[in-house]
Amino acid sequence: MINSNEDIWSAILSRDDQKIIEVINSLSEEEMSYVTTHLHQMISEDGWHPSQIESANHALQVIKK
The distance of Cα 48 from the centroid of its chain, to the nearest Å, equals 14
Q: Domain residue spans in the chain? A: 16-64
Q: Where are the alpha helices (DSSP H) in 5-49?
A: 5-12, 17-26, 29-44
Rounded CA-CA distance 39/59 in Å is 8
Q: Is the whole model's pTM more than 0.75, yes or no?
A: yes
| CA 31/CA 49 separation, integer angstroms | 24
The per-residue pLDDT for range 12-53, each reduced to its tens digit, is 999 999 999 999 999 999 999 999 999 999 999 999 999 999
7 confidence band (pLDDT: 50, 70, 90)? confident
